[in-house]
Amino acid sequence: MQTPFGTDLNPQLNASGELQHFLDTDGLNRDIIERILDTAETFFSPVDGKIKKVPLLRGKTVANVFFEASTRTRTTFEVAANRLSADVLNLDIGNSATSKGESLLDTIRNLQAMQVDMFVMRHAESGAAHFLAQQVEPHVSIVNAGDGRHAHPSQALLDAFTIRRHKPDIASLSIGIVGDILHSRVARSQVHALRLLGCRDIRLIGPQTLLPKSIGELGATRYHDFDRALEGLDVVIMLRLQRERMGTSLLPSQSEYFREYGLTQRRVDLAKPDALIMHPGPTNRGVEIAADVADGPQSVILEQVNNGIAVRMAVMSMCLGNRQKEAAHG
Ligand code: CP
């Protein structure tokens, strides 16, 4: 992929094929994804259960640098780092020297001088995390918390983790991803992860203007008729309209969009009776999903949020654990 930061190399694996940065689900393999999900199981704490805290990252410093807004991703990375006993630093971008013109690289280099071991970064530019992975000191790991419309790999894996906890045989499932696929880093990362986990029936559902032309290359099937696409689905993943990434108006009106692509209870009943209803958040009720469906018995939206903690603990501990092994072996 060509990005504003250059060509897309895949520096997330070291010479032994182990995770050293976590940048994209594209370029990972099934073994690594399954190891992340299995490791996440060991960290999992139910919403109403006892919290598991472990000393794996004691003495390590994790910096959250979010150049775009976030509620779930930033806070669950922070909770995850705390549960791994790391020291956590949250850069307040709005009040940082970025507003005085400091470049991304200078900001990161200055934080690196404070002995940061891992940067968890969200950035509006596709490729920003890959770029940094090629610039930081060899012992430092970059975790991509969302870059432009390119990738959001930890979201994709927490979604796979959530699906697997309810329906372990992902390869046998029919999974629909619905809405603004064109601008969605989540959808792109989900398709790569689900394909690697063996899923053969991935349906990308939305209006012509919000489906990329290259869907076939991703290994998914295009649908415009939402009602028809729901037949036989085991999982329905709804996406937000990402108006901040739409240059021109790609939709007639919000009410028409909801009529054609909004997930209502009538539509939920067209999928399998035990279908999971998912959404990465933030949800826009009455735009892509009805409030009673978001809060209904088939919704696992808040489970996704909690599962994000375990999956992010797994990613961070694996990246920095592999770094420690590399250092020990010289
Ligand atoms: N799902 C997700 O990325 O949510 P936030 O933007 O709140 O982090």
pLDDT at 122 over 80: yes
Same domain, 39 and 97: yes
How far apart, in whole angstroms, are the C-alpha atoms of residue 64 and residue 119?
A: 6
Query: Does the residue 132 lie in any domain?
Result: yes
Query: Does the residue 2 lie in any domain?
Result: no
Same domain, 175 and 300: yes
Question: Exposed, middle or buried: residue 213 (CB in 10 Å: 0-12, 13-18, 19+)?
Answer: exposed
pLDDT at 261 over 60: yes
pLDDT at 37 over 70: yes
Same domain, 86 and 117: yes
Question: Residue 130 in contact with residue 5, Cβ under 8 Å?
Answer: yes
Q: Could you tell which of 67, 68, 73 is best to mutate to test the pocket of ligand 1, judged by most ligand atoms within 8 Å of the CB?
A: 73
- Give per-residue pLDDT as tens, 43-57: 999 988 899 899 999
Q: Could you tell which of 64, 72, 185 is best to mutate to test the pocket of ligand 1, judged by most ligand atoms within 8 Å of the CB?
A: 72
Confidence of residue 2 (pLDDT cuts 50, 70, 90): very low
Strands 221-223 and 174-178: unpaired
Which residue range forms the structural domain that includes residue 235?
153-304
pLDDT of residue 3: 47
Average confidence (pLDDT) over 106-111: 96
Same domain, 293 and 160: yes
Supply the residue whose CA is at minimum distance from atom 6 of ligand 1.
70
Amino acid at the residue 92? D
Domain count, the chain: 2
Strand order in the sheet with 276-278: 221-223, 201-205, 174-178, 235-238, 276-278
Confidence of residue 218 (pLDDT cuts 50, 70, 90): confident
Q: Could you tell which of 64, 70, 162, 177 is best to mutate to test the pocket of ligand 1, judged by most ligand atoms within 8 Å of the CB?
A: 70
**Containing H/E element for 18?**
none
CATH number at residue 261: 3.40.50.1370
pLDDT at 6 over 60: no
Confidence of residue 10 (pLDDT cuts 50, 70, 90): low
Average confidence (pLDDT) over 146-155: 97
Same domain, 158 and 148: no
SS (H, E, C) 250-301: CCCCHHHHHHHHCECHHHHCCCCCCCEEECCCCCCECCCECHHHHCCCCECH
Q: DSSP for 100-156, please give it.
A: GT--HHHHHHHHHTTT--EEEEEESSTTHHHHHHTTS-TT-EEEEEEETTTB-HHHH
pLDDT at 168 over 50: yes
pLDDT at 9 over 60: no
Question: Residue 27 in contact with residue 39, Cβ under 8 Å?
Answer: no
pLDDT of residue 176: 98
pLDDT of residue 7: 46
Supply 215's token pair.
């869907």
Confidence of residue 188 (pLDDT cuts 50, 70, 90): very high
pLDDT at 152 over 90: yes
Query: Does the residue 24 lie in any domain?
Result: no
- Give per-residue pLDDT as tens, 228-260: 999 999 999 999 998 877 766 777 788 999 999
Mean pLDDT over the full length of the chain:
93
pLDDT of residue 318: 97
Q: Say how many Å lie between the CA of residue 17 and the centre of ligand 1.
A: 29
pLDDT of residue 18: 93
Same domain, 90 and 161: no
Same domain, 197 and 248: yes
Question: Residue 315 in contact with residue 36, Cβ under 8 Å?
Answer: yes
Please indicate whether residue 3 or residue 229 has the higher confidence score (pLDDT).
229
Same domain, 169 and 283: yes
Same domain, 193 and 256: yes
Query: Does the residue 204 lie in any domain?
Result: yes
* pTM, rounded to two decimals: 0.94
Q: How far is CA 251 from CA 132, 226, 262, in A?
A: 35, 16, 13
